[in-house]
Amino acid sequence: MDNIFDEASSKLGPEFTDPMLAGIDGVSDELRSASGIESSAESSEVKIENLNTGNDELLLSQNSLGTLGLSESQELREKTSIEEEDPLIGKGDNLGEKVDPLTGDQPNEVETKTRTAQRRDRAGNSRGKAYNFGALKDDEKLQEFVGKSDRKDFYKFRVKEKTDVDIELRGLSGNADLYLLNNKGKVINKSTKGGKNAENIERTLNPGNYYVRVQSKGNANANYSLSLDGELPDIAGNSLKKARNLGVLKDDENLQEFVGKSDNKDFYKFRVKEKTDVDIELSGLSGNADLYLLNNKGKVINKSTKDGKNAEDIERTLNPGNYYVRVQPKNNKVNTNYDLSLGVKTSLESDTQPGLMTVPVNEPVVQDNPFAPPFQGVNLPSNYDLRKKGDVTSVKDQGSCGSCWAFATYASLESSLVKEKNLTTDLSENHLKNYHGFDWGPCEGGTHALSIAYLSRGEGPVKESDDPYKSFDDRPSPGGTPPYYVREMSIFNTDGEMKQALMEEGSLYVTMHYDRDYLNESSDTYYYSGSGNGNHAVALVGWDDNKVVPGANKKGAWLCKNSWGEDWGDDGYFWISYQDTKGVNYGVSFNDATAASSFNNIYYHDEFGQVGTFSAPYALNTFTAKADEALSAIGFYTQADSARYNIKVYDDFSYGQPSKLLTEKSGKAKYAGYHTVDLNSLVNLTAGDDFYVYLQIENGGNYPQAIDYRQNGYSSYSTARKGESYYSNDGKTWKDLTTSNSTANFSIKALTTESVKSADFITVKSPNGGNTLEAGESYTITWNDSIDENVKLELYKGGSFSRTITNSTQSDGSYSWTIPPSITNGSNYKVKITSARDSSVSDLSDSNFTIEPEDFITVASPNGGNTLEPGKSYTLTWNDNINENVKLELYKGGLFNRTITSSTSSDGSYSWTVPTSITDGSDYKVKITT
C-alpha cells in the first residue's frame, strides 16, 4: 500500500517524522499520489502541493491536526451514496451530518483550506473492481479504510481445492462488518459483532471464486487490518469409513492437519502385521485437542486428553490388525492446527508411562513365543480360596497414600512365604514406598516394576517392625536389614496360569480400574465395563466360576484382598467379575524367597530394573569383584513364556570377544518375569578382577533383553558408562550398548556368596524339564557331580517336597526308579539330588517335567454274571487310555480258549457273534490286551 509519509520522510530527511502526523489514524489512506511536500516552520503547517485532485492546496496544522473538510459537491455525493439502502444493513442514521471520514469529527472544529481530496482506494468498491488475491495463500494481510467516503471494500480470491479459510478483521478504529460472498455475490457468511470488536469468519470452502466485503456500520469511519488464512486441504476423513488409510504402519509417519468448528473430527486408519509397540503423538497444537486410539470396530482402547495446548501421547503394544486414530477438539468452539506422528519401535521398546492411583498404567507386555507349549491346567477346581488354606496374611490399610502397589506386592510375597516356607511375617510397605528409587514420591503411585527393581537389588524386603507404615512421605524412615532375597517374580497373562499360580505359589499382584460407582456394596462385588486406565492394585487370593456379580452378563469372579482396612468390603475382601474389562488382566507372583545371607554382594548396572527392552538376543555385562568371593547365581528378565536362556561367565573380554569360559548354565524359564538361576559351579573371584556375564535368550519375543535407561519422569537418574554393557545380534560381533542409547545398560545381575566355597557340584541331567514319565514304569535318573560321598534323591511337586526317591545311593551318576502307580498326576515335578555329607551341594531339575497315569484297560461287559447264547451277537465293551489297537480273547476255566479278534481299534466296543459250536459253560472270561 502506498504511504505518503514514507515518501515525505525520504524527501525531507530525518527531522520529518511520523509522530508529527500521529493525530490522524489512517491519513495515509486518504492522502495519496502526492508530487511534492513542503514543511514551513514559520507557519507550523505542512503544505501539500500538486495533489492530483484539482485542489489548490491542503494545509494541516502540526500542533493541532484536525479533520479534513470535504467540498460541498463531494459531501453531497457521499450523502447520496450513503442514503441508498444496503440490502444487509439498511439506511444509515444522521446521514445529513458532515462527518470527517478520518476522525468522525464535525468539519467546523478546525478550519482547513481544501476542496475535495480524491482518494485512491486499492480495494475496489464493487465485485467488478474487487482487489484480486488470486489463489489464496496462507497469511494474506493488508490495511485499509472504510467510511463515509468509501463505504465498501471488496476483495476476490480463489481456492483450488477444499480449504479451511479463516478471515479476520482487526485493528478497527470504528464499527465495521465482515461478509463472505460466493461467486455470484450472495452472502454465505458474515460477522457483525458491533463496535470496534474484531470480526471473524471461519468456513470450509469448496474449489471456486469468493469475495470478501468490508463495510462501515452507519456513520462510522474505520481503519482496519484484514487477514485471510487458507489451511491445508483436509487429508483426514471425518468418519471411520472415510478415514485416511496409512496402510501398514511404518516408523515415523508425520502429518499436519486442522480440526475445529468446521471440521471437528479427523480419522486415520493403519494396520500392524505383528505384535507392535506403537507411539502416537499429537503436538504443535494451537488449541486444545484430544487424541484417541480405536480398535477395528471403532471402540476406544486408549486416549490422551490433557488440558490446554499440551501435547498428547499414546503408547501401546498392539496385536496384528487394523486400528484407527481420532483427533478432535476439546469442544466444538476450539480451532487448532496439529502435527500427528505415528511411530513403531525398533531397537528400544516403547517408553512406558507406569503408575497407579493417579497416573495411567500400561499393563506388562508378555511377548509371543510360538514355541511355548499351550497352558494345561492340572485339575483346576471351580472355586478356590487361599483364606481357607491359611495362606494369606492380615488385611492392611494404606490410608490416604498412593501406595496400593506396595501392599499388593507384599500381599503376594507374604502369602508365598506362608505357602512355600510355612513362615508368617509382616513386611514393610513403608520402606518399599520410600526407597524404590524412581522419580515418583512415596505416595505418588507405583507399579510391580518398581517392586521388582527394588527387590532384585536386594534393598528389601524390610520387616514391618523395623520400618513401620506411615501414610505420608516420612523419609528418612528407619529401614532395616532385609531377611530375604526374592529369587522369582513371574508374570502371568492368562486366567488358567493365574489360577494355577494361586494354588502353587500363593497370592498374586493384580490391577484394576476402581470407581466407586461400579461397586455393589450389598454383595461386595465389582464390575467395570469401561476403558479407563488401571488405577489401583490389589491382591488376588481366589476365584469362583459360579459367582454372580450384579451387572455382569456371565457368572464367575475373582476374590481379591484390598488394602483399605478390614472395615471396607467383606472384612477387606471383595469380588471382581470375570467380565471386568480392566480387572485382573495379568498377575505377578513374588515368590521363592531365600535367606538374604545366602548372597554377599549383588552386582548390577540396572538401578531401575527393566525400563524397556532391546531387540538383540545376546547381551553381556562386565563387573569388577569387590572382594574375594564366589559367583554363585545370575539374575535376569525374560519377556515371553518358555523362553530359553544360556548363561556363560568369562574371565576376559578383549578385542571385542569374550574368552576364557569359567562356567555356564542353560535352561528354560516357564513364565516371563525376573529369575535368579544358580550356576552349575561356583566361580572364584579375586577383589579387583573383572568378570563377564553373557546371556543369550532364545524364543524370547522380538525384544528379548531387558534394559534400564533414562526416562524423564520415571527413571531420570539412570546412567550408563561405556564398557559396562555390550550387545550382539549373532553372538560374534559385539557393540557397546551406549552406542544405541547413551543411558542404557542390560538388566543382568551377578550374585556372590559370602566366602569362596568348595567347587563341589551336582548337576541333574535327566529328567531336567520337559520330560513326560508314566506311572508304573521304570526310568533312569542321571546326573553329573564332583563328589565321592553318597547322594539323596527326592521328588518335588510345585516347588514343595513330595517324597523321597532314595535316602542314599552311590554317587555314580545314575539311579533306576520305578514310579509308583499311585502317584498323583501333574506337570510340575522336579528331581532334587543332594550330597549326603554336605546339604549345600545339591541341584534341582532346571524346569518341570510331567508324570502321567499308567496305561490301563478295564473290561466293562461281559464282566461277570452275564449269560450269552450261541449264535447270537453281543457287544463287548471296555474302557482304556491307550491309542493302539487291542486283541480280544476268550478264556475258559482260566485257560485260553480262542481268539475273538487279533486286532481291532481301541474304541471301547466290539460286536461278537458267539459261535454255535462253542461248549456250554459258566466259567468263561474275556481278556483284552494291547
User: Cβ(169)–Cβ(176) under 8 Å?
Assistant: yes
Torsion of CA 198, 203, 209, 211, to 10 degrees: -20
Cis status of the peptide bond prior to 329, with omega within 30 of 0: no
Residue 519: φ, ψ to 5°: -90, 125
User: Cβ(35)–Cβ(58) under 8 Å?
Assistant: no
Look up 536 and say whether it is catalytic. yes
User: Cell 452378563 appears where?
Assistant: 553
Cα–Cα distance, 384 to 387 (Å, whole number):
9
- What is the SS3 string spanning 307-364? CCCCCEEEEEEECCEEEEEEEEECCCCCCEEEEEEEEECCCECCCCCCCCCCCCCCCC
User: Cβ(70)–Cβ(107) under 8 Å?
Assistant: yes
Look up 605 and say whether it is catalytic. no
Cα–Cα distance, 151 to 81 (Å, whole number):
9
Q: With H, G, I as helix, E, B as strand and everything else as coil, classify residue 204.
A: strand
Choice among 175, 335, 535, 562 that is catalytic? 562
What are the C-alpha distances in Å from 547 to residues 550, 735, 876?
10, 55, 44
User: Cβ(240)–Cβ(295) under 8 Å?
Assistant: no
Cα–Cα distance, 265 to 275 (Å, whole number):
28
Residue 751: φ, ψ to 5°: -115, 135
Q: With H, G, I as helix, E, B as strand and everything else as coil, classify residue 524.
A: coil
User: Cell 515371553 appears where?
Assistant: 640
Q: Are strands 849-852 and 772-774 parallel, antiparallel or unpaired?
A: parallel
Going along 462-504, which residue ranges are E strands?
484-492
Nearest residue to 153 via CA among 51, 84, 221 = 221
DSSP 844-880: E-SS-EEEEPPP-EEEEES-SS----TT-EEEEEEEE
Residue 907: φ, ψ to 5°: -105, 5
Choice among 401, 404, 443, 560 that is catalytic? 404
Nearest residue to 849 via CA among 823, 868, 875, 810 = 823
Look up 331 and say whether it is catalytic. no
Q: With H, G, I as helix, E, B as strand and everything else as coil, classify residue 372.
A: coil
Please enumerate in sequence order all residues whose Cβ is within 8 A of that of 476, keeping only pairs 6 or more positions apart, or say none.
Answer: 434
Residue 364: φ, ψ to 5°: -65, 145
CB atoms within 10 A of CB 868: 13
Nearest residue to 99 via CA among 73, 67, 143, 72 = 67
What are the C-alpha distances in Å from 344 to residues 112, 252, 902?
74, 7, 64
* Ramachandran bin of 185, using left for φ above 0, alpha for ψ from -120 to 50, beta for the remaining angles: left
Cα–Cα distance, 641 to 496 (Å, whole number):
14
> What cell numbers appear for 305 in the block?
486428553
Return the H-helix or E-strand segment holding 176: strand 176-181
Choice among 436, 513, 536, 675 that is catalytic? 536
What are the C-alpha distances in Å from 309 to residues 263, 286, 325, 331, 917?
18, 6, 19, 13, 100
Q: Which residues does the annotation mark as catalytic?
A: 404, 536, 562
